[in-house]
Chain A
Amino acid sequence: MSLFSSKGQKHIDGHKELTKHEEIISLVSGNNAPKKVYFPTMAPNGKPITFDVKEGDKVKVGTKIGLRSDFYVPIYSSVSGKVVANENVFSPQVGRAIPHVVIENDGKYDEEKPLKTVTLKDSAEKIRDAIKEAGLVGMGGAGFPTYIKYNGSSEIETLLVNGIECEPYLTTDFIVMQQRVDELLLGCEYLMKASGAKEAIIAIKVHKDEVKEAVLAKLADHPNIRLVETKDAYPMGWERVLIRNIFHKEYKTLPSEVKVAVNNATTVIELGRTLSTGKTVATRLVTVSGNGIVNPHNVLIPVGTLSNELIKVCGGVVEGDINFIPGGPMCSKAVSFDTFPMLMQMGSITVLKYCQATADACLRCGKCTAHCPAYLQPVALKEAAEKRDVEGMKKYDILSCIECGMCSYICPSKIDVTETIKKGKAIVKLSMPKK
């Protein structure tokens, strides 16, 4: 009910048809296969990643080459070949050029000895360890280490598999979920076992009939897994909104408060594959789409491929000014370089023709407040942020903002509300005492 609170969701044009039924271009082998793949030496949060390979080392697909310093996330090579010199490449996560470990692809894809596999009969403890060792991060874009959600510290009743994909243009989950249903269901079973959940819910948006049919065809063998369809709205894929829609519950910080664990569908699929075969994530599907791309397609790449190679196989970009976005058009920030490595969590590149929006005066219509999925009042936050009023911003709970872009999207005056709030958030964070 949204009589006085925000609706929290809104249907937006998904433009999914651009790539939904297009053929998948593979960059894994063949002439277009990348000559080099890149692995950043810094995690998205700026913490260093230590690499234990040096120049000249030979690696295979699945060779453990590095380890994140803050969380236990092993980095595995996605190609076989030789480690060449470190190279400074732009990293959209960090926002500047940082050193990357570069592996020259020999094109053979020799495979390393697989990791230890686990079966559903193994103990939860063992499965958790296997998840940790797999080096999986959330492949929906956040890149948050998966194993942390399943450390067994909180009681989980339901596993929620997020196949919503609410950002416009993105279709990788849509395709992968159709093609790899077995691994998806296997991944669910593993995670249910690991978390102690009694039930798993696979959530997709309505009108994803292909996925629905593919999954339903195999659900008979999995009595504890069911498929739920949600409204086609943004940001349905945000776990808070998804849980609100499916369970009608609210929580403060983590979904585990309402006994739910949420994972992205592609992550669950890769988890099913890695745990059952011992093969680590080496490739991923990337949507290259938008009206700035000549031939939008989904592209299968070895992790670490440079983005410009994806653009090349999709016919390049159109003439004129563009927004080059490593991610979807709602949340991700456009970058000024078209060359950066595609990491495991990066599922899309969106290139849009630049269109100049002239901002009108704020007419205080309150549409942003009426649609904020975090139930905030963006217009009030914006005013406080413009005044750099830290106390005011805190009162309006600015740190709850998830920067989903809804307020800017909905604004009839085309004001960059989200951007102003982002800046306000930075000011508030700076003003807070360091932990």
Chain B
Amino acid sequence: MAFRTNPAPYQRSKNSTLKIMLILLAALVVVWVSGIIYYFNLSDKINEYIELENLELDIEEQLPYVDYGLKAILNVIVAVVTSIVCDVIHTLCVHKTHKNISLGKDIIHTIVHNYSYITGIIFALTLPVFTSYYVIIVGSVFATLVCKNVFGGFGKNIFNPAIMARIFVGLCFGSALATPEIIQTVSAAELAGEAATAVGVDAATGSTITSVYNNSQLWIYTTRPVGAAVIENSLIEGFTLENILFGEYVGALGETFTVLILGLGIVLSVLGVINWRTPAFYLGTVALSAVVIATLTGNSVLAYLVASIGLGGVAFGAVFMLTDPVTGPTSSLGKSICAIFAGFMTVLIRIKGGYPEGAMFSIALANLISPAIDAAIKGKTNRHYPVKVAGLGLGVVIAAICLGFMASGQVTHIGVVNKDGLNYAQDAQLQSAVALNENERYCKYSDDVEVGYTFSNESTLDSKYLVKNGDEVVAYAYVIDYEKAMGSKASISAEGYPIPLNVVGLVVIDKQDKVQGVGFIDEKMAGTDTSYYGKFVSEQVVGNGQAAVDALVCGKATTASKSTYSPQIIKDLVNKAYQLYALESK
């Protein structure tokens, strides 16, 4: 017997770091399993599809059978095993500095307590399932050796290793992460529920939500996430909000099942594994920004909101990566500030930066400023309490409003308004249809006009339109370089679809928020021709002069900010233009 005089207290909580990490691991495994199930089902459908249709496909001559379910399993195993091997290698290198412990014990202790297996599984879950194994291995080595062990192992690293590895492979092996064509083709068909019966690929658009999303231009120029467009306009028919919420699309292995991830976030918060403030403030900032942006740009708030949170790993980053305690501030206040910053950066990168990985970069940047936040929060945590609460609340609101105006400030409004004035269209196809030059090819203008809506795919023009028969619609556009736009003839193609579109109008708004022209398609000219190309007649009616426009809109809309060009105002403008035209033609 001996009297031990180790320091007080002698009663310790039963919680331990190992326990926290194992609960986190369990949550990650749940996400992983949901991914595995999805990819097994998807593989079945793809194989079925290939079997039925391989002769008619002109994508590849001979299509292989795929097994992405197995790949989903192996991806994570490869990443975890690589991470553990890196830990072992690291231990072998530094073992001589660890006294009083045998090599075997040292290795086991490092494997268990360096928690690289968590890094490995998170990293694998942020990658698309079809990522090559070599990319996963390189990324895992980078994460464990370079981002973690070099800094001194668990607890010492500055950046979240999984995030850095994801960014690293994203920049270095971008092409290796791209969605294979077969997935693009078949998944879309599968999503449309047509896999087994589809007659041809052209039934689908040829793009999955991932590939469309990866065309990050969508975040920037249309200020609406592809999700909104997809949901509202059947870019991929049958794709709904539920698909985003329940992860029924091809994306990164673990990032798609939003509802599951958020549910796990709540469970982990209750269990005390993560601090709920981090995901709450992060998602709150992103969500509020989404609401503001959607409102200011006249998009569907719900769709934009769901797409903002559900796409691009925002939810996954919020629950599993930004909450990494090692790389974040320690105090609750610091965590909240850091989360708001990350939320702001996520949206900023999306609308201004053009990387779909906005979430990843923002988390890395948040890691970077964490020590500064910690250093700034000195003294007691209850000091200036009301100021802190008010300040952070205000911070979220200001961030959201700034982002909203930044987004709306460069918006290219291209949308369709239906009878009720609801802005439900904004369809890519229709945008391409509302072509702004003689060649009826919007894409040619992308450089000059800065509209930037690139449509390289001719086939999209031939695909379905959202405008249903009998819809009364107004198309409107905002372009920056109005001179070029005004010189051209706007036209609409409604090929393949029954006409009439009763009123089709075009509003051109310049950089200074002024309406530079209003055009429309003459009802009489619309006719019933299925291949009708109705011509905008704006220049005949109102010209491009300011006076005419002022007369049109009584000066009101001319000074309004872009965001106030609501569907209704656009509609009114076009109607006035039409009335003027009708008067003149008499």
Residues of A near any B CB (own CB < 8 A) = 1-6, 12-13, 168, 250, 317, 319-325, 329-338, 350, 352, 354, 357, 360-367, 369-370, 372, 374-377, 379-380, 395-397, 400, 403, 405, 408-414, 416, 418-419, 422
Binary A-proximity of B293-336 (CB < 8 A = 1, otherwise 0): 00000000000000000000000000000000110111111111
CA of A331 to CA of B331, assembled, Å: 24
Q: 6 shortest A-B CB distances, which residue pairs? A: A361-B155, A405-B9, A419-B7, A366-B330, A4-B333, A365-B325
Q: Which A residues are in CB contact (< 8 Å) with B6?
A: 323, 334, 354, 416
Q: How far is the CB of A308 from chain B (nearest CB, A)?
A: 12
Q: How far is the CB of B4 from chain A (nearest CB, A)?
A: 4
B392–A333 CB distance below 8 A: no
Asked whether any CB of chain A lies closer than 8 Å to the CB of B415, the reply is no
Is B63 close to A, CB under 8 A? Answer: no
In the complex, what residue of chain A is closest to B272 when comparing beta carbons? Answer: A367
Residues on B with beta carbons closer than 8 Å to the beta carbon of A413: 16-17, 155
Q: Given A396-B378, A400-B380, are A330 and B113 also a contact pair (CB < 8 Å)?
A: no
Which residues of B lie under 8 Å from residue A168 when comparing CB positions? 11
Whether the pair A4, B8 counts as a contact (CB closer than 8 A) is no
Contact between chains at A370 and B275 (CB < 8 Å): yes
Residues of chain B with a CB closer than 8 A to A369's CB: 330-332, 381
Which of B382-390, B472-480, B564-572 lies on the face that meets chain A? B382-390
Q: Looking at the complex, which one of B10, B335, B382 makes contact with A5 (CB distance below 8 Å)?
A: B382
In the assembled complex, the Cα of A413 lies from the Cα of B325 at a distance in Å of: 13
- Interface check B48, CB cutoff 8 A: no
CB of B5 within 8 Å of the partner chain? yes
B139 CB within 8 Å of chain A: no
Contact: B275 with A414, CB < 8 Å?
no
| B5 near A334: Cβ-Cβ < 8 Å | yes
A319 contacts across to B, CB distance below 8 A: 1
- Chain A residues lying within 8 Å of B329, measured Cβ to Cβ, are 366
Judge whether B4 and A321 touch: CB under 8 Å.
Answer: yes
Q: Are the CB atoms of B15 and A412 closer together than 8 Å?
A: yes
Of B5, B9, B20, the contact of A331 (CB 8 Å cutoff): B9
Closest to B113 in A: A360
Cβ-defined contact, A375 with B380, below 8 A: yes
Q: Are B330 and A336 in contact (CB under 8 A)?
A: no
Contact partner of B113 among A329, A361, A366, A367, CB < 8 A? Answer: A361
Alpha-carbon distance A5/B382, docked complex (angstroms): 5
B154 on interface, CB distance cutoff 8 Å:
yes
When the two chains form their complex, are residues A412 and B330 in contact, meaning their CB atoms are under 8 A apart? Answer: no
For A332, list chain B residues within 8 Å (CB): 8
- CA distance in complex: A333, B8 (Å): 6
B3 and A334: CB pair below 8 A?
A: yes
Cβ A377 vs Cβ B8 within 8 A: no
Given contact pairs A352-B10, A360-B16, A361-B154, A6 touches B381 in the complex (Cβ within 8 A)? yes
Asked whether A412 and B17 contact (CB < 8 A) given A324-B3, A366-B335, A395-B378, the answer is yes
| A360-B18 CB under 8 A given contacts A366-B325, A369-B330 | yes
Residues of A within 8 A of B272 (CB): 367
B1-41 contacts to A, CB under 8 A, are 1-13, 15-20
Taken together as a complex, chains A and B put the C-alpha atoms of A121 and B472 apart, in Å, by 94
Does B374 lie within 8 Å of A362, measured CB to CB?
Answer: no
Please measure, in the bound complex, the distance between the C-alpha atom of A323 and the C-alpha atom of B2, giving whole angstroms.
Answer: 8
Interface centre among A12, A409, A412 (most CB of B within 10 A): A412
A377 and B331 contact, CB distance less than 8 A: yes
Cβ-defined contact, B382 with A6, below 8 A: yes
Report the Cα distance A3→B275, complex, angstroms. Answer: 11
Residues of A within 8 A of B326 (CB): 363-364
B172 within 8 A of A: no
**Chain B residues within 8 Å of chain A by Cβ, number:** 50
- Given known pairs A3-B332, A323-B4, A363-B325, the reply for A414 and B379 (CB within 8 Å) is no
A333 neighbours in B (Cβ, 8 Å): 5, 7-8
B153 proximal to A (CB < 8 A) = yes
Q: State whether the Cβ of B377 lies closer than 8 Å to any Cβ in chain A.
A: yes
Residue pairs across A and B with Cβ atoms less than 8 A apart, 18 shown, are: A3-B277, A6-B382, A168-B11, A322-B2, A324-B3, A329-B10, A357-B12, A360-B18, A363-B17, A363-B154, A375-B381, A379-B330, A397-B380, A408-B7, A409-B11, A412-B13, A414-B12, A418-B7
B419 at the interface (CB under 8 A from A): no
Of chain A, the residue at the smallest CB distance from B114 is: A361
B155's partner among A324, A363, A380, A416 (CB-CB below 8 A) is: A363
- B-side interface residues toward A, CB under 8 Å? 1-13, 15-20, 113, 153-156, 272, 275, 277, 325-326, 328-336, 374, 377-383, 385, 388-389, 392
A-B contact count (CB 8 A): 182
Query: Of B1, B18, B332, B388, which is within 8 A of A370 by CB?
Result: B332
Complex Cα distance, B329 from A408, in Å, reads 19
For B8, B156, B333, the residue with the greatest tally of chain A CB atoms inside 10 Å of its CB is B8
Q: Would you call B20 and A412 a contact (CB within 8 A)?
A: yes
Q: Which residue from A250, A357, A363, A418 sits with its C-beta under 8 Å from B382?
A: A250
Q: Are A361 and B11 in contact, with the CB atoms below 8 A?
A: no
The smallest C-beta distance from A124 to any residue of chain B, in angstroms, reads 35
- B11: chain A residues at CB < 8 Å are 12-13, 168, 329-330, 352, 409
Given the known inter-chain contacts A360-B18, A363-B326, please indicate yes or no for A419 contacting B8, CB distance below 8 A: yes
A366 partner, pick from B1, B8, B275, B383, beta carbons under 8 A:
B275
Taking CB atoms, residues of chain A closer than 8 Å to B332 are 2-5, 366, 369-370
Inter-chain CA distance A325–B334, complex, in Å, is 37
Residue pair A334, B19 in contact (C-beta under 8 Å): no
Chain B: which residue is nearest A367 at the CB level? Answer: B272
Contact indicator B153/A361 (Cβ below 8 Å): yes
CA distance A407 to B475 in the complex (A): 63
Give the docked Cα–Cα distance between A5 and B18 (Å). 26
In the bound complex, do residue A335 and residue B7 qualify as a contact, i.e. CB atoms below 8 Å apart? no
Q: How far is the CA of A329 from the CA of B331 in the complex (A)?
A: 27
Q: How far is the CB of B386 from chain A (nearest CB, A)?
A: 10
**In the complex, what residues of A have CB within 8 A of residue B388's CB?**
4
Query: With A375-B380, A396-B378, A410-B13 known to touch, is A364 a contact of B330 (CB < 8 Å)?
Result: yes
Complex-state Cα separation, A411 to B385, whole angstroms: 25
Report B178 CB to chain A, min CB distance, Å.
Answer: 36
With A4-B332, A375-B380 as known contacts, state yes or no: A364 contacts B9, CB within 8 Å: no
| Docked complex Cα distance between A5 and B386 (Å) | 11
Contacts of A367 in B (CB 8 A): 272
A13-B11, A369-B332 given as contacts; is B1 within 8 A of A364 (CB)? no
Check A5/B381 contact, CB under 8 A, given A321-B1, A362-B155, A369-B331. yes
Contact partner, A408, options B12, B19, B275, B325, Cβ 8 Å: B12
Q: Which residues on B sit within 8 Å (CB–CB) of A362?
A: 155
What are the residues of chain A within 8 A of B374 when measuring CB–CB? 380
Query: A380 vs B380: C-alpha distance in the bound complex, in angstroms?
Result: 11
Q: Are A354 and B4 in contact (CB under 8 A)?
A: yes
Given contacts A321-B1, A369-B331, A412-B17, contact A350 B10 (CB under 8 A): yes
